[in-house]
């Protein structure tokens, strides 16, 4: 997982859009929250990732974190204002 953190740091350092989404409308924040990668969630939020962008099913990163019982990611999202 550390390699993923370093990759995200490099991408954000190169001015990658933290809100870019794939064809299923999944952002990096949504995928990190769903997988429980709290450090990546933190990095993305600090880089300005929006916590209110939902996927095609209408689920937000917070909903994915809750569904997967990803408590650390959920706490970070709540602190960032997700509801």
pLDDT digits (tens, 9 = 90+) for 59-79: 999 999 999 999 999 999 999
State the average pLDDT over residues 26-47. Answer: 98
> What is the pLDDT, as a whole number, of residue 46?
98
Distances (CA, A) of 18 to 35, 68, 69, 70: 17, 22, 23, 20
| Residues in Cβ contact with 10 at an 8 Å cutoff, skipping those fewer than 6 apart | none
- The pTM for the full model equals 0.95
**Cβ distance 25 to 55 under 8 Å?**
yes
**Span 33-38, average pLDDT:** 97
One-character DSSP codes across 8-24: HHHHHHTT--TT-B-TT
């Amino acid at each position: 997982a550390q390699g993923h953190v370093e990759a995200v740091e490099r991408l954000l350092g190169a001015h990658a859009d933290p809100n870019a989404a794939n064809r299923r409308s999944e952002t990096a924040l949504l995928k990190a929250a769903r997988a429980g990668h709290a450090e990546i969630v933190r990095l993305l939020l600090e880089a300005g990732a929006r916590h209110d962008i939902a996927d095609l099913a209408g689920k937000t990163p917070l909903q994915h974190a809750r569904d997967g019982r990803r408590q650390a990611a959920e706490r970070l999202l709540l602190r960032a204002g997700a509801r």
